[in-house]
Amino acid sequence: MAGSDLGGRVAPAGRVSRPKVGVLALQGDFREHLLVLRELGADAVPVRRASELDEVAGLVIPGGESSVMDKLSRTFGLAEPLKKRIAEGMPVYGTCAGLILLADTVRDAIAGQQTLGGLDVVVRRNAFGNQNDSFETDLDIPELGGPPVHAVFIRAPVVESVGPKAHALGVLDDGRVVAVEQGPLLGTAFHPEVTDDYRFHSRFLDKVRG
């Protein structure tokens, strides 16, 4: 890919399109995603209300606390518009808590917790333990090409089962699924935005441009 290197950083060289994409900015590490997307040539903006969601062609849902994001999205009137845009095919990339929000089914959810849905997967919250159990590892992701992805897991979920509509992109050595894709939807249990490898963000932007 023009403008890319083995680290996964992709410059906007050769790209005539500067898509306007949003990052859900209710809670979590949305600032890091905004920086990555802008470096990749996107017009990236924070999204906190439905009117802002109407203006973007794709959305990143960042890591953070999934139950808090769920409550805030409903409080700010974003949950139903988000579900509608997802159902209509808007490209969405969810990392960590974002993956939980995109999952059709969540295990170990707190009482009353809801998801936006869209990904035909079952996800378990905090599958690897608490903050002290965070870890890093390298993952082979054939669809991305290049070297392994250095994945950072922070209070991460895990995909316990993948339905027929979705497929696994990344799997740990023990067989647990930590990256999935389903048409315009992309989800990772880890945090590419805290590394120098932006291939997952580039894949998301390709969906938006496509």
* Residues belonging to the active site: 96, 191, 193
Q: Report residue 94: phi and psi, to 5°.
A: -110, 130
Confirm if 18 and 167 have CB atoms less than 8 A apart: no
Which residues are CB-neighbours of 31 under 8 A, at least 6 positions away?
none
Distances (CA, A) of 103 to 1, 127, 181: 30, 15, 11
Confirm if 157 and 124 have CB atoms less than 8 A apart: yes
Confirm if 100 and 65 have CB atoms less than 8 A apart: no
Confirm if 60 and 22 have CB atoms less than 8 A apart: yes
Confirm if 116 and 66 have CB atoms less than 8 A apart: no
Q: Is 167 exposed, middle or buried (CB count within 10 Å of its CB: 0-12, 13-18, 19+)?
A: middle
The CA distance from 99 to 165, in Å, is 16
